[in-house]
Structure 1
Amino acid sequence: MNKRTLVLTMVILLVLLTAGNAFALESLAEAELAFDMLWLILAAALVFFMQAGFAMVETGLTRAKNAGNIIMKNLMDFSAGAMMYFAIGWAIMYGTDSIAGLIGLNGWFLSYTEGTLAAYGISSMSELYRDWMFQVVFAATAATIVSGAMAERTKYSGYLIYSVFITGLIYPVFGHWTWGGGWLDGLGFHDFAGSTIVHSVGGWAALVGAFIIGARKGKYVKSNGETTVKAIPGHNLPLAALGVFILWFGWYGFNGGSTLSGVDPDISLVFTTTTLSASGGAIAAMFMTWLWFGKPDPSMSLNGALAGLVGITAGADVVTPLAAILIGLTSGIVVVAAVEFIDKVLHIDDPVGAASVHGVAGAWGTLMVGFFHTEAGLFYGGGFSQIGIQLVGILAAFVWVVITAGILFGALKAMGKLRVEEKDEMQGLDISEHGMESYSGFQIFSTM
């Protein structure tokens, strides 16, 4: 009896002992299907709750006068994104009729026949809806990453346009190359829950968007040929911290649910590696800032935890707990260096560090699979092959997103749909874009 069957048998026996003969399960296969359904729907709900985490992080790390605008963007990321993923995103990502493993071509609006369901590997529409629900929350995550990097100066109408393009096209195409059985999957690229597929795709789009839209007014001041970088503090660090803890909680659905089975014994390993990597990321970022700046920085430590979560997402199922700690520690160091480099050297204004946390740490974690994979990794006798495959996937994601996001954001800028007027930015997007204040009755002061 293998471990999977043993776990399922124990669960059935427990149910029968506690519930008597209230119901009967006809076979192990039916019981497994039932537990898979419950687990994936629960995991999808946990990942959906991450939208609240992103909203709180982005709101807390930016100014009060833009809080309502950020909430609206996170709300529409999922709402509009779900519509696009239902209409075309799922078909592009998981369509079984594809062109050279590049793009799916069937399943628009989830319109499947019995024959196409069988080709997908499932037997009922209930299973299809289950899988769609689990995948749409990942698509929305990729889109919402961009929000924080372009916060406080983006037109709301332009944001809606690029959000649906990311959910409906940019993310699903790369998803088809990997999880959809495309050419990268054929190479053996391993990204368990989306360090690159979800997070780097969102992170690189965030980097491109922040570069094209330009910095917030007052962020970079030029004088006598030199550029002074000025910090623009967020208005509510406790809110940002709450967001990080919500994201950490939701990540157990993000990674744990990616086992795709409620009776897979590896769920416990995934939870363990996820926890250890996040902890390592927070600790490393704390000490990194302590050494670099003289004091442990709270916001950077929070981003360190997120970097650890992003970093382990690619290999949570195939690395040991000790390797997870190392991945987390290095991700925490990498994210601090990346934030400083993007801000101080490249002069790209990313208010929440989204490109560093998701783009850079996602690529780093994906690469680490090539070293720590317990069957194919360099440190386990697998040679350099898996490292090469991981690098191909990382590079493919970067090139695809930079090109497509560059075209998208460039077109929006050319049409005047990307950035608000300076007076609107100074006033705050809550008033200029939505005609309201998030903190009614309180005076919001701003010098920039």
Structure 2
Amino acid sequence: MKKLLSCLVLSVMFSLACLPLAAMAQDAKPEAPAAEAAAEPAKPDPTGATLGTAADIIGYAANAPTKEELAAMSEKEPLAAKAAEAAGKNKISINFVWTLVCGFLVMFMQLGFALAETGFTRAKNAAHTMTMNFMVYGIGMLGYWLTGYALQMGGAGPFVTLGGGGTMDTEFAITLFGKDFGLFGLKGFLLGGDAYDVAIFTMFLFQMVFMDTAVTIPTGSMAERWTFKSFVIYGFYMSMFIYPLYANWVWGGGWLSTLGKNFSLGHGVVDFAGSSVVHMTGGVAALAGAICLGPRLGKYGPGGKVNAIPGHHIPMAIAGCLILAFGWFGFNAGSTLAGSDLRIGIVATNTMLASAAGSFSALLYMWLVYGKPDASMAANGLLAALVAITAPCAFVNASSAIIIGLIAGVLLCVSVFFVDRTLKVDDPVGAISVHGVNGAWGLLAVGIFADGTYGDALNTVEGTVKGLLYGDSGQFMAQCIGVLTNFIFVFVAFFVFFKVLNVFVKLRVSPEIERDGLDEAEVGVTAYPDFSVNKTHR
């Protein structure tokens, strides 16, 4: 307990120590239109009273009306001016409600993860697995509140679709090759000071549930032998530092997002809703953790024989996967951050089509190759396709979404057996393959299938997002850089972390506890106290 409290104190001290660095950082605020260049510095708005004006009908576009033009309209056509003002406020309000409701949907995915992972593991560890999935929500949120949100989004403002957030304007950057490389933000620690703003708080909620998804993923690959103490420390490390850093590089104005502007590589790394930021990050961390923990007892026999250890409740696992699929509509369509962006219809439909294709191709692959239509693989194929379509969902057409999903389902099956039989890495729920491998596939899919109908001026690059099939090899190159960066950074960061942590806090339970089950020993409760778990099902 003392070690845990020490880690928390150090985390708070770090977050407070980062605040003075803001004076050293470079201003990350996007260039304003000439008419707005002399505008007053942004101020936080904790009530929302100043958000939503006539200018928001158009947005922060180059042809948005100036303050002078709006003032002239008020004098000459007061009724029209009031109507325009109301329309602007309504647009921002719609975007707020859309973003929050989609954030609530993503939060509901936590239940899906809990059911899926618990169902795919054994009954004697059900309470332990469920508790990790429950507590990662609170642990991740607190860590993200302390430092994570600031490191990720501290230089990403203003949040145009929400009409505010302009005070999140400080990104720490270094200069290489004559170009600025953003590394992390420096505004928004503990949601205090200039961060006390309705748009910034709304963005926190939405980004927090995405982060929490990434933190949850390794609880599946490391299930059934992970000590709860080390899990808690891991939760803070992931949410406070590693996830926010990579997320900043892609979503917070960091160096991967500026590869297009700085080096003419398409629009820089493009990841619409998080194939790499969320899922690959979680999947690579899961790989590092599973390697450091080692396989469950009895998983591998003499001569490298692979022994199957079936989950105890497949209906529970499948129900969890369906809940995840439902929440994914908030995950993907919500990433427009704008209910007024009608591309949400295409995003949602692409998401649905890809998931159907992934579940079918996984089922068909198992049926043709192994003679049985494996239900658990079909369920994981659904998730794999959802992971894969998460990055390209806004940039591709329906046919491409189907192709991406079909490939994801087969890739899932091949990867699961490769990890299990060739790498000899024990992953009870297939998290490495579902999230890590297909997260990488999803990021690459943007660079292949993006059709140039969406994404104009994304990452401050003129024009829409196009992939290899539509003439932009630079975009594919940027996506490859994103995949390599994620794998190297996340794997090294977590492999070293788990090895060092194991010196001070043991990662793995004792063989006796593992044989008897982790429920009572690690979390103090038994999932199924009314009946004795038969050894054949343990």
Task: Report how many residues are paired.
Answer: 415
Corresponding position of 2:294:
214
Q: CA deviation at 1:26?
A: 4.4
Q: CA deviation at 1:103?
A: 1.5
Unpaired runs of 5+ residues, structure 1, are: 7-23, 118-123
Corresponding position of 2:271:
191
Q: Work out whether 1:75 is the aligned partner of 2:75.
A: no
Q: Work out whether 1:323 is the aligned partner of 2:400.
A: yes
Decide whether the 8 Å contact of 1:148 with 1:350 is kept in 2.
yes
Corresponding position of 2:253:
181
Distance in 1, matches of 2:208 and 2:403, equals: 31
Q: Deviations over 1:231-258 (max 9, x none)?
A: 0000000000000000000000000100
Relative to total residues, which structure has the larger helix share, 1 or 2? 1
Corresponding position of 1:309:
386
Query: What are the equivalent positions in structure 2 for 1:118-197 lying under 5 Å apart?
Result: 125-187=197-259, 188-197=268-277
Q: Work out whether 1:346 is the aligned partner of 2:436.
A: no
Corresponding position of 1:9:
none
Distance in 1, matches of 2:471 and 2:103, equals: 36
Counterpart of 2:433 (choices 352, 356, 361) is 356
Corresponding position of 1:200:
280
Distance in 2, matches of 1:25 and 1:230, equals: 67
Amino acid at match of 1:55: A
Query: What are the equivalent positions in structure 2 for 1:388-407 lying under 5 Å apart?
Result: 388-407=477-496
Distance in 1, matches of 2:405 and 2:57, equals: 32
- SS in structure 2 at match of 1:439: coil
Corresponding position of 2:470:
380
Distance in 2, matches of 1:95 and 1:38, equals: 23
Q: Deviations over 1:269-299 (max 9, x none)?
A: 0001000000010011001111121111100
Q: Work out whether 1:51 is the aligned partner of 2:123.
A: no
Q: CA deviation at 1:27?
A: 2.0
Corresponding position of 2:16:
none
Corresponding position of 1:29:
88
Distance in 2, matches of 1:112 and 1:211, equals: 42
Decide whether the 8 Å contact of 1:218 with 1:230 is kept in 2.
yes
- Structure having the higher Rg: 2
Q: CA deviation at 1:111?
A: 1.9
Q: Deviations over 1:55-100 (max 9, x none)?
A: 0000000001111111111111110110111110001101122133
* TM-score of the pair, normalised by structure 2: 0.76
Answer 1 or 2: higher relative contact order, Cα 8 Å, separation at least 6: 1
Q: Work out whether 1:99 is the aligned partner of 2:169.
A: no
Amino acid at match of 1:52: L
* TM-score of the pair, normalised by structure 1: 0.90
Distance in 1, matches of 2:298 and 2:505, equals: 21
Q: Residue 245 and residue 25 in structure 1: after superposition, are their counterparts in 2 closer, same or farther (change >3 A)?
A: farther
Amino acid at match of 2:183: L
Q: Deviations over 1:286-320 (max 9, x none)?
A: 01111121111100110000001000000100000
Distance in 2, matches of 1:162 and 1:417, equals: 12
Runs of 4+ in 1 over 6 A off after TM superposition: none
Q: CA deviation at 1:170?
A: 0.7
Distance in 1, matches of 2:307 and 2:57, equals: 58
Distance in 2, matches of 1:28 and 1:182, equals: 33
Distance in 2, matches of 1:212 and 1:268, equals: 43
Distance in 2, matches of 1:268 and 1:413, equals: 47
- SS in structure 1 at match of 2:101: helix
Decide whether the 8 Å contact of 1:25 with 1:31 is kept in 2.
no
- SS in structure 2 at match of 1:183: coil
Q: CA deviation at 1:416?
A: 4.1
Query: What are the equivalent positions in structure 2 for 1:234-249 lying under 5 Å apart?
Result: 234-249=311-326
